[in-house]
Amino acid sequence: MAENEIMIDASPEEVWAVLADPQTFDDWVLGAQNVRDADDSWPAVGSKLHHSTGVGPLTVDDETRVEEAVPPTRLVLLAKVGPIGEFRITLELRGADGQTTLFMQEDPVGGVAAHTPGTDSAITARNTISLGRLKKLAEGTATARP
């Protein structure tokens, strides 16, 4: 299981607002290229976000489904990434004094990734970048990507 933590200078409600906006998904999730569609109820339990993932021309169309949502403190997602596998992502938000500590756990639960050594360290490195992007969005310091 890959685990990351980051301190964000924004309230849990402000961080949750970024997580709850499907159009920001590809701005903060490293590897997500574009959001093709999202259920109107996102991020309600059972709702789905349809996106493309990959690098350059090597992309797959996949989806992420909400398994649990407790605004603004907990979001559990199941991401399906083509033949690579399925990943359960748990985001925990804890706030104090206008700041949020965000804990992220990601566990490959199916497919090739669940049986490949070194997957956790690669996911941890990827999520370090993703959470840095999320931090900038929540703090209002992000610049538009090309």
pLDDT tens digits for range 18-55 = 999 999 999 999 988 889 999 999 999 999 999 988 77
- E strand or H helix at 15: helix 12-20
Distance, CA of 101 to CA of 106 (rounded, Å): 17
In whole angstroms, how far apart are CA 86 and each of 101, 119, 121?
A: 26, 12, 16
**pLDDT at residue 142, as a whole number:** 66
Sorted by where each starts, the structural domains of the chain and their CATH numbers stand as: 2-139 (3.30.530.20)
Residue type, 94: R
pTM for this model (two decimals): 0.92
Q: 57 vs 25, 33, 52, 111, CA distance in Å? A: 19, 10, 11, 22
50, 61 in Cβ contact below 8 A? yes
